[in-house]
Amino acid sequence: MNLLDRIMVLTTEIENRVASADWAGATDLDLERRELLRDLFATQPHVARDGSARAILEQLRARTDSTSAALHDTRRALSAASRLLQTAPGVVRAYERNADGGPHRVAETAGE
């Protein structure tokens, strides 16, 4: 297996790890892939000019951009969920204050 093949295998594995929310695993594989890319361009600086290799590198870039966009979407969703969780205790306290004794009082009066 040549460097470019290994890089593409790692890309697939990174995509799988991201899809299963294995952030640490995806990061470890991405670090390995970056090192291989450095090696590839250090040992084969002409690789981006070769037709077939260029096409593979363009595919790699598109897949990496797609994975990056998915990560940004996930980060935004997690941030929004975090903000909701941070406000939850205040919402519960406000509910308890406004419900005249909290959930127990509301449950008791529901049957009246």
pLDDT at 108: 59
Residue 59 has pLDDT above 80, yes or no: yes
Compute how many other C-beta atoms are within 10 angstroms of the C-beta atom of residue 33: 20
With bands split at pLDDT 50, 70 and 90, how would you rate the model's confidence at 86? confident
The CA–CA distances, whole Å, from 98 to 1, 75, 93, 101, 109 equal 67, 34, 9, 8, 14
CA dihedral 8, 9, 11, 13 (to 10 degrees): 170
pLDDT at 48: 81
Query: Residue ranges per domain, the chain?
Result: 3-110
pLDDT per position as a tens digit, 2-32: 899 999 999 999 999 999 999 999 999 999 9
With bands split at pLDDT 50, 70 and 90, how would you rate the model's confidence at 91? confident
pTM above threshold 0.85:
no
Amino acid residing at 7: I
Amino acid residing at 53: A
The residue with tokens 């980060």 is 75
Higher pLDDT, 78 or 102: 78
What are the start-end ranges of the H helices in 1-112?
3-19, 23-43, 51-98, 103-110
Q: How far apart are CA 41 and CA 111, in angstroms?
A: 74
SS3 of residue 88 by DSSP: helix
Residue 49 has pLDDT above 70, yes or no: yes
Whether residue 103 contacts residue 94, with contact meaning beta carbons closer than 8 Å, is answered with no
Mean pLDDT value across the chain? 86
